[in-house]
Amino acid sequence: MLTKTRFLQFLTCPNEFWLAHHLPLLAAREETLEYQHLRQQGYAVQRLVREMPMFRGIDPALYQVDFERAFKTDDLYAKSDVVVTDKRTGQLSIYEIKSSSKVKDEHIYDVAFQRAVAELNGFNAAGTYVITMNGDYVRYGELVPDDLFIVNDVTDRVAAKAWETKEQIANAFKYLKTMSVPNLLEYCDANKLDCSYIKHHFPDLPEYTVFDIAYLKNDKRRELLGEGIVAVTDVPEHFALSPKQKIQVATAKSGQIFIDTTEIGRRFDDWEYPLHFLDYETFSYAIPQFDGIRPFQQMCFQYSLHTIVKPGGETTHSHFLSRGDDDPPRAMAAHLREAMGCGIGTVFVWYEPFEKGRNSEMAAMFPEFKEFFEEVNAKTYDLMKIFSDNLYIHPEFKGRTSIKKVLPVLCPDLSYSELGIGDGMTASISWFHMATKRYDDSRSQQIFDDLCAYCHLDTLAMVEIFTVLRKLEK
C-alpha cells in the first residue's frame, strides 16, 4: 500500500523509501519532542480550519463536507483533510491544510497524489486547494480564522503535475523491486549523511567528513566522493577550495590550532564597556498565542544577560523568564532595558541576525522601547564571527561555529550535557507546555528552573569564550 507520506518520501529520497518498506525497523526514527510538537501544532491548525465559515456555514442541501476523508485502491491510500462534494454535480473540491506560510512544491505533489487516488475511485476532483497561514495576520483578542488562513487555489498547478504524479507512482512501485548498490553519491540533499539508508550501509564513516567543510557546494562534495574521498584529512592539496576552506582542511590535517591574534586584537579595540552578553529564548507557533504576534513569529519569552561594567570588573547577571501569564515580549523588553541601565557599550551575541531580528520586531511592536532596541542593535557584535571568519580554527570544531561546538573545546569545564534542558528547541517547547498549564505546579517549577539554567549557560559561555580570547593578547 503506497500512502501519500511514502510517495513524498520516494520523491525526496528513493533509498530511504526503499529501506522504510523492506527494513522498517532500521529506517524508523525516534519520535522526538520536536516531532510531537509539530504534529500537535498541525492538529491545532486543522481544528481551527474546520471552524471557518466556508466549511461550517455551507448549505448542507447543496454540499457535503467531509473531514479526513480517505480514498484508496488495492495499492494506493490517501487521506484528504477536507473534501467538499457538490451534490448537484458530484464534483469534489480537495483541501489540504498546511502549517506553513506559503505553498511549497511538495504541497503540490501531496495534493496531486490525493487527486490521482480520488480519480481512480471514479471521482472528479474539479478543484484543489492548499490552506496556509496568513503570515501578515496579527492577533488581537480572539482569533479570526478567516483572516488567519489563506485558501490558495492550486487547481492548475496540480493538474499540470497529473501525468508526472501517475508516472512517479509507477516508478515508486518499480523501485521497491530493485536492489540498489550502496553508493555514498546517492545521499539525499535533505538528510545527507543522516539519511537512514546511508547510515545503514556505511556505519563506519569517519567522524570528520567532507560534509563538514564549510559552505562546500554539492558538486564539489560529489566530486570528492566520486574519487573515494570521504574524510576531510584525505582531501588533496590541489583540490579547488576557497581560502577559508583550505585553512579548515589544512588545520584538520595538521591537527594544529590556527589563531589570527592580530586581527582578533584589532577587533578587541573596537569593543567598548560596559560589555553585555545577551541571549534570547523564543517560541514560534503557527497559531499566534498572544496579542501582537504573527504566525511563526519568534516571540521572545526569556533573556539572560551577563555584564562587565569596566575592565577587570566583576561579571554580574540579570535574567527574565515569563510564565506565560503576562505579555511575554513586552514584559521582557521592560526588564531588559532596566537591566542595561548602566549603559550600552558593546552587546555580544552568538549569531547576530537572530537577536537583531528580535530586537527590530520588538522595536516595531512597542514604540516605547524603539529607541532602546535600535541602540542595542547599533552596538551589537556577533562573537561567533571570530570563528566563522576563521580567525580561530581548531580541528575539534570540525568546521562548525555553533556555541555548542566551540564551548567544550575552549572551556571544557562547562557543558550543556548535565542540564535538564540542553538545546533551544527543547527550551521553546518546554516553555510552551509550562505556559499553557500542561504541567502541575511541581513540574512547571522544574521546567522554570531548567530554562533559567540553560539560558544562563548560553551567556556565561560567551563570557568564558571572551575571556579565553582576551588572554591571547598577553
Note the pLDDT tens digit of each residue in 330-385: 999 999 999 999 999 999 999 999 999 999 999 999 999 999 999 999 999 999 99
Per-residue confidence (pLDDT) for residue 286, from 0 to 100? 96
**pLDDT higher than threshold 80 for residue 136:** yes
Tell me the pLDDT band of 195, cut-offs 50, 70 and 90: confident
Note the pLDDT tens digit of each residue in 69-80: 999 999 999 999
CA gap 344, 340 in Å, rounded:
7
Per-residue confidence (pLDDT) for residue 464, from 0 to 100? 97
**322-360 burial by CB neighbour count: b if 16+ within 10 A, else e?**
bbbeebbbbbbbbbbbebbeeebbbbbbbebebbbebbe
User: What torsion, rounded to 10 degrees, do the Cα atoms 453, 456, 460, 462 define?
Assistant: 120
**pLDDT higher than threshold 70 for residue 17:** yes
CA gap 109, 115 in Å, rounded:
10
Residue-range domains of the chain with CATH: 2-176 (3.90.320), 264-471 (3.30.420)
Q: Side-chain half-sphere of 399: how many Cα atoms within 13 Å? A: 21
Angle between helices 162-176 and 105-120 in degrees, nearest 10: 80
Note the pLDDT tens digit of each residue in 262-315: 999 999 998 999 999 999 999 999 999 999 999 999 999 999 999 999 998 999
Per-residue confidence (pLDDT) for residue 382, from 0 to 100? 97
- Contact by Cβ (8 Å): 135, 125: no
Mean pLDDT of the region 130-158: 96
Mean pLDDT of the region 183-193: 83
Per-residue confidence (pLDDT) for residue 474, from 0 to 100? 58
Question: What is the Cα gyration radius of the chain?
Answer: 26
**pLDDT higher than threshold 70 for residue 160:** yes
Per-residue confidence (pLDDT) for residue 50, from 0 to 100? 93
Per-residue confidence (pLDDT) for residue 422, from 0 to 100? 92
Mean pLDDT of the region 447-464: 96
Mean pLDDT of the region 168-193: 89
* Ranges 24-28, 68-72, 161-165, 453-457: which has the least confidence: 24-28
Note the pLDDT tens digit of each residue in 388-428: 998 999 999 988 999 999 999 999 999 998 899 999 999 99
Note the pLDDT tens digit of each residue in 20-56: 999 888 777 777 888 899 999 999 999 999 999 999 8
Per-residue confidence (pLDDT) for residue 132, from 0 to 100? 98
**pLDDT higher than threshold 80 for residue 473:** no
Note the pLDDT tens digit of each residue in 201-233: 899 999 899 999 988 998 999 999 999 999 999
Per-residue confidence (pLDDT) for residue 310, from 0 to 100? 93
**Closest by Cα among 330, 337, 334, 329 to 281:** 329
CA gap 25, 38 in Å, rounded:
23
CA gap 281, 289 in Å, rounded:
16
pTM above 0.85, yes or no: yes
Percent of all residues in the chain with a pLDDT value above 90, rounded to a whole number: 84
Tell me the pLDDT band of 89, cut-offs 50, 70 and 90: very high
CA gap 370, 116 in Å, rounded:
53
Per-residue confidence (pLDDT) for residue 31, from 0 to 100? 79
CA gap 245, 390 in Å, rounded:
9
**Closest by Cα among 281, 377, 288 to 321:** 281
**Closest by Cα among 15, 417, 429, 47 to 201:** 15
Q: 421 — alpha (psi -120 to 50), left (phi > 0) or beta?
A: beta
Q: In angstroms, what CA-CA distances link 429 with 5, 55, 220, 438?
A: 25, 31, 37, 11
Note the pLDDT tens digit of each residue in 145-155: 999 999 999 99
